[in-house]
């Protein structure tokens, strides 16, 4: 059961800000302000604005955390508060953390490399390694919230936080914990990362119209838009949630994963790898394809990826694909890389609870090869009993999570 959620995204601080913006079809993408992009081909991204770590964290502790870790701790505090759980309230050994990140502490890495070059090795901070390694988000979350049970970090590119949620589900099912805090965090809007993704020709170059840059399934799409942020969810066993009178938000009921085993960065053109993950999630949940009414697509606004995912959905759902609603919330949030899966799961849970399906904005000239119902441009009021949310990553990683609505 999902009993609590927290988020920091380009839409604002908190789940309420995220949901209200998505339902309104507002984009969180703008010109990057935290980094100098003047000599880069890309100047736009999804920044978490108005975030001052000192508003949430002890100033000394915040100085010893990379931005991606700060995001993780704050979003996780929000999720725990939303679940009605105090730090230390979960019995010893029965609460754990699974968190994902695609890249980890790259902002600290870049800053300290500059220190090494300009001031010498003696001036590199002794906190350099503890700030950059990927597992520090999960570690700090566990320390902050006193969750001393299972703890792990998944680093599977843009599948990282979806894998983290699926792994948390399995730990709960296996009886290794009663409560798991699962999610992902990413803070990559630094010149080196922007230059690297731009060199791959993976990013949109619509610098003059940032809010229209991310346009999944549209004929004019030219790449994804990098974004930062974190999403965190409290997952509990049904018995634990009932025993404390918790309010269940939805049930994460299925977890499927696969590998394309095809290419470093391109998806299988026919979508068979993505299809295998979706079939796995349905089988794990015991859901018939016809029971699914909505898919929160991975769809990043890349020419090949959006077509491959469309083909995968048609493989899995057959004729029912034409009755499915599919949307890409990345059209508004941008691509949070390793944190995307957790944030999109939060939006999927809210879609089921609120009876509102998020739109795909900027869908003005549909690609003929993308021929599903993508909830174009305006949110739709529609009750759905079950949904999937997809995450696919460089290296051919594929994850699909199944979610069931609860009364």
Could you tell me if 399 and 388 are in contact, meaning their C-beta atoms sit under 8 angstroms apart?
A: no
Q: Which residues are bridge partners to 152 per DSSP?
A: 98
Q: What is the tens place of the pLDDT at every residue in 54-63?
A: 999 999 999 9
Structure tokens given for 239: 């018995």
Dist. CA 386–CA 372, nearest whole Å: 18
The pLDDT of 309-317, averaged and rounded, is: 98
Sorted by sequence, the CB contacts under 8 Å of residue 345 that are 6+ apart come out as 161, 162, 165, 231, 233, 252, 296, 389, 401, 403
Q: Where are the domains of the chain?
A: 2-243, 254-404
Could you tell me if 184 and 166 are in contact, meaning their C-beta atoms sit under 8 angstroms apart?
A: no
pLDDT value of residue 84: 97
- Tell me the chain's radius of gyration from C-alpha atoms: 20
Helix 272-285 to helix 303-317 angle (10° resolution) is 40
pLDDT value of residue 407: 75
Same fold, 2-243 and 254-404: yes
Pick the CATH number of 2-243 from 3.10.180.10, 3.40.50.300, 1.20.1050.10, 3.40.47.10: 3.40.47.10
Sorted by sequence, the CB contacts under 8 Å of residue 123 that are 6+ apart come out as 115, 116
Candidates 140, 158, 159, 253; catalytic one: 158
Vertex 187: Cα angle to 183 and 188 (nearest 5): 130
pTM given for the model: 0.97
pLDDT value of residue 251: 98
Structure tokens given for 314: 């048609």
296 vs 406, residue with greater confidence:
296
Active site residue 158: yes
Cβ neighbours of 84 (radius 10 Å): 14
The pLDDT of 302-322, averaged and rounded, is: 98
Domain 254-404 is classified in which CATH homologous superfamily? Answer: Thiolase/Chalcone synthase (3.40.47.10)
Q: What is the tens place of the pLDDT at every residue in 226-267?
A: 999 999 999 999 999 999 999 999 999 999 999 999 999 999
Q: Which residues are bridge partners to 360 per DSSP?
A: 376
Kind and range of the H or E element at 237? none
Assess whether pLDDT exceeds 90 at residue 306.
yes
3-class DSSP string for 334-352: CECHHHHHHHHHHHHHHHH
Could you tell me if 342 and 162 are in contact, meaning their C-beta atoms sit under 8 angstroms apart?
A: yes
Active site residue 263: no
Could you tell me if 96 and 180 are in contact, meaning their C-beta atoms sit under 8 angstroms apart?
A: yes
Percent of the chain scoring above 90 in pLDDT: 99
Q: Which residues are bridge partners to 403 per DSSP?
A: 252, 387
Candidates 140, 163, 240, 335; catalytic one: 335
Q: What is the tens place of the pLDDT at every residue in 76-91?
A: 999 999 999 999 999 9
Residue 381, judged by CB atoms within 10 A of its CB (0-12, 13-18, 19+), counts as exposed
Sorted by sequence, the CB contacts under 8 Å of residue 52 that are 6+ apart come out as none
Candidates 214, 240, 298, 370; catalytic one: 298
The residue with tokens 């799961």 is 345
Q: What is the tens place of the pLDDT at every residue in 182-200?
A: 999 999 999 999 999 999 9
């Amino acid at each position: 059961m999902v009993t609590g959620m927290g988020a920091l995204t380009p839409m604002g601080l908190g789940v309420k800000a995220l949901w209200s913006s998505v339902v309104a079809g507002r984009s969180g993408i703008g010109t990057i302000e935290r980094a100098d992009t003047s000599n880069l081909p890309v100047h736009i991204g999804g920044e978490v604005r108005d975030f001052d770590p000192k508003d949430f964290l002890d100033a000394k502790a915040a100085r010893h955390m990379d931005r991606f870790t700060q995001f993780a701790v704050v979003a996780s505090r929000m999720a725990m508060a939303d679940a009605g759980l105090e730090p230390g309230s979960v019995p010893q050994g029965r609460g754990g953390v699974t968190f994902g990140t695609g890249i980890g502490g790259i902002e600290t890495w870049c800053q300290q490399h500059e220190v090494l070059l300009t001031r010498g090795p003696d001036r590199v901070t002794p906190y350099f390694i503890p700030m950059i390694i990927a597992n520090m988000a999960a570690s700090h979350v566990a320390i902050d919230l006193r969750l001393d049970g299972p703890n792990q970090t998944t680093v599977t590119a843009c599948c990282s936080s979806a894998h983290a949620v699926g792994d948390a589900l399995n730990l709960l099912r296996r009886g290794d914990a009663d409560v798991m805090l699962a999610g992902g965090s990413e803070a990559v809007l630094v010149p080196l990362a922007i230059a690297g993704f731009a060199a791959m020709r993976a990013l949109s170059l619509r610098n003059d119209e940032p809010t229209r840059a991310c346009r999944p399934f549209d004929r004019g799409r030219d790449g994804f838009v990098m974004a930062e942020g974190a999403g965190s969810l409290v997952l509990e066993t049904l018995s634990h949630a009932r025993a404390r009178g918790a309010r269940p938000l939805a049930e994460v009921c299925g977890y499927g994963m696969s590998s394309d085993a095809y290419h470093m960065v391109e998806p299988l053109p026919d979508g068979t790898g993505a299809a295998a993950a979706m079939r796995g999630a349905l089988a794990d949940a015991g859901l018939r394809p016809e029971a699914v009414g909505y898919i929160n697509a991975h769809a990043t606004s890349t020419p090949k990826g959006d077509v491959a995912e469309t083909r995968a959905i048609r493989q899995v759902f057959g004729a029912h694909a034409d009755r499915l609603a599919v949307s890409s919330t990345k059209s508004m949030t941008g691509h949070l890389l390793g944190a995307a899966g957790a944030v999109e799961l939060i939006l999927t849970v809210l879609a089921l609870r609120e009876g509102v399906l998020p739109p795909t904005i900027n869908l003005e000239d549909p690609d003929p090869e993308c021929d599903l119902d993508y909830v174009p441009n305006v949110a739709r009021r529609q009750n759905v009993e079950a949904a999937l949310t997809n995450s696919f990553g460089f290296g051919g990683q594929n994850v699909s999570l199944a979610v069931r609505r609860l009364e």
